Amino acid sequence: MKRASLLALVLAAWAVPADAATASRETFGSLPDGREVAAIVLTNQAGMKVRILAYGALVQELTVPGRSGPADVVLGYDGIEGYLAAPNYFGASVGRYANRIAGGRFELDGKAYQLARNDGPNALHGGVKGFDKRLWTVGDVSANAQQASVTLTYLSPDGEEGYPGTLQVSATYTLTESNDLKIDYRATTDKATIVNLTNHSYFNLAGANSGVSILESLLKIPAETFTPVDETLIPTGEFRSVSGTPFDFLTLRRIGDRIRDGRDAQLRFGRGYDHNWVVSRTVVAEPQVLAYLEDPASGRVMEVLSNQPGIQFYTGNFLDGTVTGKAGTIYRMGDALCLEPQIFPDTPNQPEFGSARLDPGKVYQNSIVYRFSVKPPSSGS
């Protein structure tokens, strides 16, 4: 027995070069209807580890090195049951339309569509059963000396959750040896439709289980305007200057500095930050930096890049202690934040916001990069 496992170890070490990234498949659990939920684990030699589930094409674990060792920096659950019972979009790929559409209504080529309304009067994150609650198909899994990756796909039928057109969606996750976690979302359609796909990971760079609030993290967003909202978190249509407001993250700021400023109606509507920052007005050719996040204690830094024009910065304001996540930890407001590259919320109803339209023959693409590094203790910000 001992000799057999020793032999297996030797063989494994021989098969995989010591300097390679790895990709392996495991079973995470199964759905109530018996379908297996596969997990793909990507690792690199620099100490990063990512576990992606076929359910919701979601990030279940994201272990990142810090000054005093590695930590898992995303919220989630240890088992599939948690994701089924109280999903909260933890780590999920959201669509067809990330964030809100007013009244769940929009028009395309003169035809009115009514979507499922799952957030008060509005449609949120693709509806009652969005892409975050679907079992995706695991496609290519590969690894070499520079990177490891997996592609998941999902075919959304015409009319699903009220959206027109059959949508073929893919999410390719790639972990590189330089500590980039990339997500490349793509979609094609057979009929004109609207699309806005993003990832809804809840980050805490101090560690998901550290007990350190994200209010201590430092954030920079290179956006001179944001899109203010009404009480139901639908954009008013205005592009408002961040200047002189708690929304100014043009220079590095501690997140907690101004989050409780109740004189600002926007912070009251969001119960904190839950807004879209405007980095550019349209989709750009190459991913650009949308946000820089730093945890001073661990030295962990995450830059978020994307070709999308906006970024939703959400401080987990709906986490109210009713959910118990990984390692039996109760999640509360301030435990994590989301940084979601996107087309602006409610774009289909906001003439000034551009377009979320996808036509047959075109490819929708959101190329996200989460770039991790560790800041040396001595250097300035």
Which are the catalytic amino acids?
Answer: 200, 340
> Which chain residues interact with ligand GLA by CB under 6 A?
88-89, 99, 124, 233, 274, 312, 314, 318, 338
- How many CB atoms sit inside 10 A of residue 186's CB? 18
Cα 155 from Cα 166, distance rounded (Å): 7
* Residue whose entry in the numeric block shows the structure tokens 């993290």: 217
Report the residue number whose CB is nearest to ligand GLA: 314
Of 50 and 338, the one with the shorter C-beta distance to ligand GLA is 338
Cα 135 from Cα 57, distance rounded (Å): 8
Smallest separation, CB 377 to ligand GLA (Å): 33
Of 147 and 202, the one with the shorter C-beta distance to ligand GLA is 202
Smallest separation, CB 163 to ligand GLA (Å): 18
Antiparallel, parallel or unpaired: β 22-30 and 36-43: antiparallel
- DSSP states along 273-327: -EEEEES-SS--SS-EEEEEEE-TTT-EEEEEEESSSEEEEE--TT-EEEEE-GG
Of 161 and 274, the one with the shorter C-beta distance to ligand GLA is 274
Cα 195 from Cα 358, distance rounded (Å): 7
Q: Which amino acid is at 262?
A: G
Cβ contact 199:167 at 8 Å:
no
Smallest separation, CB 270 to ligand GLA (Å): 7
Cα 84 from Cα 283, distance rounded (Å): 33
Of 60 and 99, the one with the shorter C-beta distance to ligand GLA is 99
Of 180 and 346, the one with the shorter C-beta distance to ligand GLA is 346
Smallest separation, CB 276 to ligand GLA (Å): 8
Smallest separation, CB 105 to ligand GLA (Å): 18
